[in-house]
Amino acid sequence: MWGVSMALGYGTLQLRLFGISSLKEKRSITKSLLNDIRKRFNVSVIESGSNDSKLILEISYAIVARTRAEVDSISDSLVRFIEDFKGYQIVSERRESW
């Protein structure tokens, strides 16, 4: 036995975007946001839905950490990070950890 424990978590956020005039502009903003999230939180994150909508951005993320408390803390910080940006509003959030 290795004696190693880990916790996993994942979540999906649906964001309402403001001031976006084209899908090209949305994709540029999405790419920048996903890269910022990856760098800041060391999580896997993708655009997971609403790809053809200018108004809605859906992102999903996955976290691996030593404890469930750490996973929950990273999830909370990630959500706060997104809430602090102007031009986005979180309209739904689903998350799970174990």
User: 1 lies in a domain?
Assistant: no
Q: Domain residues for 89? A: 7-97
pLDDT at position 70 is 97
Flag whether 80 is in a domain: yes
- Give the contacts of 58 (CB within 8 A, at least 6 positions apart): 12, 13, 14, 15, 47, 48, 49, 50
Number of domain units in the chain: 1
Tell me the mean pLDDT per 10 residues along the chain, length 98: 84 96 94 96 96 94 97 98 90 96
Predicted confidence at residue 1, as pLDDT, reads: 58
CATH code (residue 29): 3.30.70.1120
pTM of the model as a whole: 0.90
